[in-house]
Amino acid sequence: MTERSRASQGAGKDLLVDGGAEVVEDPDLTVEALARAAAKKRPSAILVGATRTGRIVAARLAAKLRLGCLSDVYRLKVQGSSILGERDVFAGKVVAQVKADLPCVASVKVGTYPKMSEGRTGLEVEEVGSLQGGVRLVETLEKRAATTDLRSASVIVSAGRGFRTKEDLSLAEDLARALGGALGCSRPLSSDYGWLPEELHIGLTGVTVRPSLYLALGISGQLQHIAGIKESKVIAAVNTDKDAPIFQVADYGIVGDLYQVVPAILEILKS
Ligand SMILES: Cc1cc2nc3c(=O)[nH]c(=O)nc-3n(C[C@H](O)[C@H](O)[C@H](O)COP(=O)(O)OP(=O)(O)OC[C@H]3O[C@@H](n4cnc5c(N)ncnc54)[C@H](O)[C@@H]3O)c2cc1C
């Protein structure tokens, strides 16, 4: 987290909580800052992005404030003295409706609401004093090559295990570039093989995307992947297996070898 974290206050009003602390990746600092601000401001709901850190923050904050906590929710609405939300369960096959009494904490599924614009002015700032974290910053490492934010990309070319080597991913990158889009992937490519950064993995445990065009190359279309792409306007897929589940959700499909299909598309785009 940076030294400042943002909390939602009241009906859509934003509060910038200034912890004045060192820039440390310590969820406990965020929890402490938000708890202090909440004790003063008494918000009816505290919404935290359901990122890896955000989930930890939401749960610990709720425990600290002795409030209820909704996890990984979206389509939130206030009804009387409660807040209602939806939550994907069974890998997105079923949508559960969940409810908590206000006030409460909720971790909100990433990508389901537009990002708050950075550098926004006019925010109310709440100083919460200095914070003591249990984490000591030893070293700061640069993040791996900056990539486009998938949540705002209008075209995404996504690579799956149909790619045989890391080097072959240049095919997907070239196509993404030619279409003015961003590169994404299925989970095995980032989490198992380490071929691409974690933030490019799309799906239930990764990013939820909603581009105008989602092009899946060599991705089978397991439920956990589909959970992150089902809001896309158009889904297209290239797969050698005509029975691959991805074709059940795709608007357009090419049954073929991506090693032939992608160069052919690139050739057409060039000409
Ligand atoms: C709790 C949990 C959470 C998970 N969360 C996620 C998640 O968020 N996101 C995610 O993606 N996965 C997730 N998974 C993993 C998921 O279940 C699948 O294992 C994964 O999505 C499969 O990735 P894939 O489609 O790239 O690989 P595979 O399922 O192996 O599919 C590869 C596809 O490539 C095709 N192919 C092979 N060669 C070619 C070629 N030359 N040209 C064209 N097509 C070819 C094959 O026919 C096949 O359909 C999760 C799993 C669990 C248990």
Residue-wise pLDDT tens digits, 132-151:
777 777 877 766 554 668 98
| Confidence class for position 220, pLDDT limits 50, 70, 90 | very high
Domain count, the chain: 2
pLDDT at 2 over 50: no
Residue 143 lies in a domain: no
158 with 227, same domain?
yes
Confidence of residue 7 (pLDDT cuts 50, 70, 90): very low
Residues 41 and 104 in one domain: yes
Q: Which atom of ligand 1 is nearest to the CA of 221?
A: 25
Choose one of 94, 127, 160: the last residue of a domain.
127
pLDDT of residue 25: 64
- pLDDT number for residue 21: 47
Residue 230 Cα to ligand 1 midpoint, Å, equals 15
Res 8 pLDDT > 80: no
Mean pLDDT of the 238-251 span? 98
> What's the rounded mean pLDDT across residues 15-19?
59
- Is the same domain home to 191 and 248? yes
CATH of the domain at 164: 3.40.50.1220
Residues 109 and 224 in one domain: no
With a 6 Å cutoff on the Cβ, whether 257 touches ligand 1 is yes
Listed in sequence order, the residues at least 6 apart from 24 whose beta carbon sits closer than 8 Å to its beta carbon are 1, 133, 135, 137
239 lines ligand 1 (CB under 6 A): yes
| pLDDT tops 90 at residue 41 | no
Q: Are residues 160 and 259 in the same domain?
A: yes
Residue 195 belongs to a domain: yes
- 222: Cβ below 6 Å to ligand 1? yes
Q: Is 253 in the pocket of ligand 1 (CB under 6 A)?
A: no
pLDDT for position 67: 96
pLDDT in tens, 89-126: 887 778 999 999 999 999 998 877 766 555 556 666 67
Q: Is residue 135 one of the residues assigned to a domain?
A: no
d(CA 96, CA 72): 11
Interval 44-93: pLDDT, tens: 999 988 887 889 999 999 999 999 999 999 999 999 999 999 998 887 77
Q: Is residue 212 part of a domain?
A: yes
Percentage of the chain lying above the pLDDT 70 cut: 83
- The continuous run of DSSP H or E covering 216 comes out as strand 213-217
pLDDT band at 17 (very low <50, low <70, confident <90, very high): low
For residue 85, report the distance from its CA to the centre of ligand 1, in Å.
29
Instruction: Let me know whether 225 and 111 are in one domain.
Output: no
118 lies in the same domain as 195: no
Contacts of 257 (CB under 8 A, 6+ apart): 240
Distance 214 CA to ligand 1 centre (A): 15
**Is there a single domain that holds both residue 116 and residue 158?**
no
Tally of residues, the chain: 271
Does residue 110 sit in the same domain as residue 175?
no
Instruction: Calculate how far, in angstroms, residue 188's C-alpha sits from the geometric centre of ligand 1.
Output: 7
Looking from the CA of residue 219, the nearest atom of ligand 1 is: 25
* Protein residue whose Cα sits closest to atom 14 of ligand 1: 224
Is residue 112 included in any domain, yes or no?
yes
Q: With bands split at pLDDT 50, 70 and 90, how would you rate the model's confidence at 18?
A: low
State the residue range of the domain holding 237.
Answer: 150-270
* pLDDT value at residue 19: 53
How far apart are the C-alpha atoms of 143 and 103, rounded to whole Å?
36
